[in-house]
Structure formats: structure tokens, C-alpha cells
Amino acid sequence: MTLQHQEEYRDPQLSRRLIDAIRRTSTRPINLMEVCGTHTMSIFRHGIRDVLPDTIRLLSGPGCPVCVTAQPEIDTFIAYARVDDAIVTTFGDLLRVPGTASSLQKEKAAGRDIRIVYSAFDALKIAQANPDRQVVFLGVGFETTAPTIAASVLSAREMNVTNFLVACAHKTVPTALEALMQSDQVQINGFLLPGHVSVILGLQAYRPFFDQYQVPSVVAGFEPADILEAVRRLVEQIEQGAPRLDNAYGRAVGEDGNPKARSVMATVFEPVDAVFRGIGTIPGSGLRIRPAFAAHDAAIQLPVQVPESREPAGCACGEILIGAKTPPECPLFRKACTPENPIGPCMVSSEGTCAAYYRFHH
Amino acid sequence: MTPELISLDHGSGGKIAHRLTAELLLPLFDNPILSDLHDGAVLTLNGNTRVAFSTDTFTVTPLFFPGGDIGELAVNGTVNDVAMCGATPLFISLALIIEEGFPMAELTRILESINRAANAAGVTVVTGDTKVVPKGAADGLFINTSGIGLIPEDVRIGSTGAQPGDKIILSGTMADHGMTIMTQREGLTFDSAIESDSAPLNHMVAKILAASSNVHVLRDPTRGGVGTTLNEIAESSQAGIVLQESWLPMHDAVAGVCELLGFDPLYVANEGKLLAFVAAEDAEAVLAAIRSDTYGREACIIGEVTAEHPNQVVLETRIGGRRIVDMLTGEQLPRIC
């Protein structure tokens, strides 16, 4: 495995030319939202806010998988960890997210068997190695993680690994965009659409959204020049009053995306109304396991008692996730809520907006 | 409320680990030598003999990895901590905690590796201890080493001496050790091999001190990485630090793995690198001295000390933006997508 091209998209001269073009074109104040947590991180890591003109305000959207996971879902995950003899397998970012009364990290320190994995297939291997224990994989994330997790469920069925269960809390991006456009709390003039998600979905997935709302939308990659080029195209569209659905990440994203990945996803999952932290219930914005695969659905196979969930008092994560507030506007930010002692999920995940502000913003 | 328990974050070398030291350990054992919080303690014996004394415990999975093993790490780690005080490391101790059932052949290999590393660094193992614990009570093998060394009379190296105008030299590429261990642990394979940088730095330190008497700080950025170590230096020296992103040396393959797993290389462990803070007029001479050492060929100046923004480390990015490099909080965890 090698990562090529990365350097050329970090070329200072290319970036300088794009910055100049943006500065020349941008005349009126606009709000652009990056929907993806990896974009948020990249924008901070490369100091992109610093080099943009004052007319452009970048808002961070609901693109951090851990952050949008609703409190009852987090509490359910913690309840799975407390089931005797169960093994909970999870992506690393979820570990520190505070639930109503505990966190997976605290449960782990208290002796519950919680293991960090990089892929659902690692969890499947753990299930094969521990046939007498139930292994729950915590399925969070958008269309980037969902296909692999769906594939792991197909493999589990094929190999008859009956103790492999998925706790499905997946969310989907295009439906969330619609909810953001319907919100009266924030005015968005253009969207930087996520790169990784679009590799799977393709440009076609955004067409119904774009046709309805006619808001400038550009798919962006993750290197500084990728993001600057997408911003440049958004500014141009807005200044010309000519909204388009555009792709500035052509080296990875096509019209159709990855049909095979989408078909695997559609075989195992079906749309369901889901609760986004900060936004509330969005019809059809989540994924659940289809009845045909109920044997691997933790929600069915491993019923748990979840005490009533409470959002942390005073936490503005919800408003921050839709760009209605920036972290410094939250009363807890840097005071009660820090990366060592996070109150809300946006301070936990490395892709969370609060964590990014805390670490990088001066 | 659930009682507070020790989590892996308490051992990460980041902020949470610092809090444990500051709140639990320092108040109990408070003394001026300890509160320096340098890589080793500097002791004055008989009125004028200055001795550097340091200890470190090594736990790593897997025990053998590309570029080294736990034995070599245990010698180099302590040798380097002593050397960072400006001392010539002389003697080390060796304590083994072995899990019942550990293969004798592996132990032999590790002891041979310890012997080779001690010879290479020029230190002698003069005392030790062996304990065997029941199966499950340890993860294979843990090693503790302590070391002492003599500090030459005219050498004054601390962690608080960074001065505005100082150039900051990093003796080679970042993040090699930490990412090697990470990829081994996760069974990830890549086109180009990546290797731990485990190496003794005492000979390099001797060359640095011979080249300049204006070296203000030496530190090896192990756990917590370059970013955390620079924050510690900025804080204890009450100075600001500015880094140039494009000057930070990294192997391409390591940079690629970091991207892939979402790790910031500034917070990934190194086991054979040092940071030297040197008065500007001597920076080129010290850089040349470091580059003349086997383990310093890729050394670079990565930034400088400023009177602005005291206690803060700021990075100027390649595209001309600026961002804060904060101290690591807890263990870096692989992200979701």
C-alpha cells in the first residue's frame, strides 16, 4: 500500500494560486459548511481558515460519526459492554464518549471486555475465536464504514458465525443535508461535500437533494489544495448566482460511486428514521439490519435494559453539529469540557469540532 | 458515581499522564530534584561531582519488531535519558519480570540483544533482578533498567533553558518507532517496510557538546512524540516555539501510515531521536555534529524559540496558515473513517 499524490496536493505554490483566486472572486459574506469530520480536521491541521478572506466563514457540520451518534445509542453500547461474557468490539473514537452515566473506556477499566478494532472483519475473527461468547460490533459511521460492516454480516452468515452481532447505528449523509437546509437556525450558502462518502455513493446520490434545494455543492478531497479548489468553485458559483453540483475530487469520485459497495449495503441494511444528535429525528436517515439478517442484529439477539438517557447539561454539541454555534460560544468549552474531561462527544473524537478548536485554534 | 480507575490514557505520556504525576506523585515526593521533571535526575555528590540518574520500564507488544526488540529498547531508552542530562552514561541495572511459560529461547535472544546494545552504547550492566510471575499476571516480559552517568563540569543542560532565538534541531525523522509498533500490532503490511528507530544517542550527545557550549536543552521525544515534548519545554522555559511544517523530516511510508490511521505524527513515539535547543550562532555547527553521527544523518532545523506566545507551540503550515500544536491528551486512537 502506498499513498501517492499526497505531496502534490500540499504544494504551497498551487495552494497560493488557489488562495489568490478565492480572494479575487469573493466579495460578499458567505457561510460554507464542510459536512465531513475529516474535512474539519484537515482545515484545522493545515491552517486553512487563516488563509481565507474574512468574507468566507467555514462552518463544521454533522460529519463526525461519533458526534452525531445519539445519547441513547451510546448508552445502549455501554449496556452491551455490561452483559456478562459479551465482548464488545469498537472503533477507537467511541471509547471515550461519555454516556449518561459511564463510558466504554470506564467500563473497560472496570474489567469489561471491550476491544478496539480497525474493521468489522477483525471483530468477526474475534467471534470465530470465541464461539461461546457473543461478540458485538458497534456499527457507527456513514456510508464509508457501512459497506464493510455489511460485508462482515454477509461473511458471518456464510461461515455460520452465529455469535457475531452488529449494533447498527449508521447514519446517511444525503438525508442529513436536507435536514440542514430545512433548519432555520443556520444559513448555509454552499456545501463542501464529503470525499470518502462520495467515493461510495457517487455524485448521483446528491442529485435529488441538489435538484430540490439548488444550493452550491462541491465534493472535495482532503489535502489543502483539494479543499481550497472546492472553496474556489463554491465562491465562483455563489458570486455568479449559478449553483451547481460539482466534483472537485475527480481522482477518487465518479458519478456512480462504488455500485458493488452500495449493493452490499442495500442487501444487509434498510433505511430507518434515525436520531442525529443536535438535529433530532430525520426520516430515513439511518440504517438498520434487514429482518433476513436478524440473526446478526444485536438489537434483536441481545436485548438490554438501557436506563433513561440524558444529554449532558449545558452542552452545546447539538447546536455546534449544525453550525449554529461555534465551540467558543458554548459555556462549557475549555472550562468544564476539555479533551481530558469531555462532556460532549464533539470534544472526544479527533474529528469533533470542539476537539479541533481546542487543539488547533488560537 | 463510579470510582475513578486507571485507564491506558494515564500511561500515554500526554496531559492525562501529566495530571497523574502532578496531582498524585509530586505532592507526595516533592523535592527540587524531582520537580525538574527532566528525563533524568541530576544529583550532586561530594559537593562537586554531578551524576545523572534515570529509570524506565519497558512493556511493548510485540516483543520483537522491525528495527529492534524490547531488550535493545530497554538499554537505549535509559542510556538516552541519562545522555539528555548532558551526562556520559556508564552503568545500568537490569530487572526482568517474566511471565510463567515464557519461551527460554526468546529470553536468550532478548538478553543477547541487551548485551549488544550495552556494548554499542558503551555501558556496563552492573546489577539486576529476575522475578517470575504466574501466567496471566504479566504480558510475556517486562523490563526495567536504571542508569547513571557523569556530567562533565562545564555542561549545564536542563529542560528549562530554552531562550528566544534558539534554533530547534530534530536529529532525524519522526514517528518511526510508534508507527512500526502500531502496524505490527494490527498486522498491517505495506509496500515499503517501516522500522523502529531505536538507537543509543549518547555518542551523538558527546559530539553535540563538543561542537558548542551554547546547547540549552536536550530531550528525546519518546512517548507523546515531538509535539508533547516541545510543549513540555515551552512550558518549563516559559518560551514560545514556532515550527515550520515543511521542515519536519518524515519517511514517506511512515507519513502514509499516519494518514491512513488518522494519527498525527507529532504525537507518535520515537526511540532514537533527540531535540536540541541551540543558540542561533552555533546551530549550523551543532547540526553538522549531529549529521556526522550514524543516527543523525537526517537531522534538520525544525523551528525556533520566540518571546511571543509563551508556553505555546505554533506550527506554520505549508500553505501559510498557523495552528497550535497542543500537548497530547491521552492515547491516540484510530479513527472511524
Task: Please write the tens of the pLDDT for every residue from B215-262.
Answer: 999 999 999 999 999 999 999 999 999 999 999 999 999 998 888 777
Reduced DSSP (H G I as helix, E B as strand, rest coil) percent helix, strand, coil of chain A, to 5: 45, 15, 40
pLDDT of residue A289: 98
Tell me if residue A357 falls in helix, strand or coil. helix
**Within a domain: A12:** no
Query: Chain B residues with CB inside 8 Å of A96's CB?
Result: 330, 333
Q: Is B324 on the interface with A (CB under 8 A)?
A: yes
| Cβ–Cβ below 8 Å for A91 and B336 | yes
Pick the CATH number of B167-324 from 3.40.50.280, 3.60.21.10, 3.40.50.150, 3.90.650.10: 3.90.650.10
| Cβ–Cβ below 8 Å for B333 and A93 | yes
pLDDT of residue A3: 46
Q: Give first-to-last CA distance, chain A, whole Å.
A: 36
Write out residues 97-116 of A within 8 Å (CB-CB) of B.
101-102, 105-106, 108-110, 116
| Cβ–Cβ below 8 Å for A141 and B337 | yes
Query: Does the pLDDT at position A206 exceed 60?
Result: yes
Query: Does the pLDDT at position B315 exceed 90?
Result: yes
pLDDT of residue A2: 40
Q: Is the pTM of this model over 0.90?
A: no
pLDDT of residue A266: 96
CA distance A357 to A350: 11
Q: What residues make up the domain containing A362? A: 33-300+311-362
| Minimum Cα–Cα distance from B322: chain A residue | A47
Residues above pLDDT 90, as percent of chain B: 74
pLDDT class of B189 with cuts at 50, 70, 90: low
Query: Does the pLDDT at position A219 exceed 70?
Result: yes
The residue among B209 and B12 whose pLDDT is bigger is: B209
In what helix (H) or strand (E) does residue A136 lie, and over which residues does it extend? Answer: strand A135-139
ipTM of the complex: 0.75
| Minimum Cα–Cα distance from A105: chain B residue | B7
Neighbouring CB atoms inside 10 A of A111's CB total 8
pLDDT of residue A1: 35
Task: Please write the tens of the pLDDT for every residue from A265-277.
Answer: 999 999 999 999 8
Query: Chain A residues with CB inside 8 Å of B240's CB?
Result: none
Distance from CA of B43 to the nearest CA of A (A): 34
Residue spans of the domains in chain B: they are 28-150, 167-324
Query: Chain A residues with CB inside 8 Å of B7's CB?
Result: 105-106, 108-109
CB pairs under 8 A between A and B: 139
pLDDT of residue B191: 59
Q: What's the 3-state SS for A323-345?
A: CCCCHHHCCCECCCECCCCCCCH
Only one residue has cell 446517511, namely A172
| Minimum Cα–Cα distance from B5: chain A residue | A109
pLDDT class of B327 with cuts at 50, 70, 90: confident
**Within a domain: A114:** yes
**Within a domain: A238:** yes
In what helix (H) or strand (E) does residue A56 lie, and over which residues does it extend? Answer: strand A56-60
The residue among A88 and B1 whose pLDDT is bigger is: A88
| Minimum Cα–Cα distance from A170: chain B residue | B336
Interface test with B, best of A7, A45, A334 (most B CBs within 10 A): A45
Interface test with B, best of A13, A82, A90, A93 (most B CBs within 10 A): A93
Residues B38-49 have a mean pLDDT of 90
Q: What is the CATH number of the domain that holds A176?
A: 3.40.50.11740
**Within a domain: A174:** yes
The residue among A25 and A343 whose pLDDT is bigger is: A25
Query: Chain B residues with CB inside 8 Å of A15's CB?
Result: 318-320
How many structural domains are present in chain A?
Answer: 1
| Cβ–Cβ below 8 Å for A360 and B246 | no
Nearest by CB to B334, which of A92, A101, A140? A92
Architecture of domain B28-150: 2-Layer Sandwich (3.30)
Mean pLDDT for chain B overall:
92
Q: DSSP character for A45? A: H
Query: Chain A residues with CB inside 8 Å of B261's CB?
Result: 118
Which range has the top average pLDDT, A37-41, A213-217, B46-50? Answer: A213-217
Query: Does the pLDDT at position B174 exceed 50?
Result: yes
Task: Please write the tens of the pLDDT for every residue from B92-151.
Answer: 999 999 999 999 999 999 999 999 999 999 999 999 999 999 999 999 999 999 999 999
* CA-based max dimension of chain B: 59
| Cβ–Cβ below 8 Å for B336 and A45 | no
Query: Does the pLDDT at position B2 exceed 60?
Result: no
**Within a domain: A334:** yes
Query: Does the pLDDT at position A193 exceed 50?
Result: yes
In what helix (H) or strand (E) does residue A225 lie, and over which residues does it extend? Answer: helix A224-240
Residues B171-199 have a mean pLDDT of 86
**Within a domain: A5:** no
| Cβ–Cβ below 8 Å for B336 and A15 | no
Task: Please write the tens of the pLDDT for every residue from A71-122.
Answer: 999 999 999 999 999 999 999 889 989 999 999 999 999 999 999 998 899 9
**Within a domain: A24:** no
Q: Quick one: how far is CA B26 from the chain centroid?
A: 21
pLDDT of residue B3: 65
pLDDT class of B9 with cuts at 50, 70, 90: confident
Residues A233-240 have a mean pLDDT of 98
Residues above pLDDT 70, as percent of chain B: 96
Query: Chain B residues with CB inside 8 Å of A359's CB?
Result: 324, 326
Residues A32-45 have a mean pLDDT of 91
User: Of the ranges A109-113, A319-323, B211-215, which one carries the lowest mean pLDDT score?
Assistant: A319-323
Nearest by CB to B259, which of A6, A92, A118? A6
| Minimum Cα–Cα distance from A120: chain B residue | B336
Residues B37-61 have a mean pLDDT of 92
Neighbouring CB atoms inside 10 A of A319's CB total 16
Query: Does the pLDDT at position B190 exceed 70?
Result: no
User: Of the ranges B17-21, B27-31, B107-111, B185-189, which one carries the lowest mean pLDDT score?
Assistant: B185-189
Query: Chain A residues with CB inside 8 Å of B9's CB?
Result: 105
Distance from CA of B83 to the nearest CA of A (A): 32
CA-CA distances (angstroms) from residue B214 to A14, B138, B210, B217? 40, 45, 10, 9
**Within a domain: A46:** yes
Mean pLDDT for chain A overall:
92
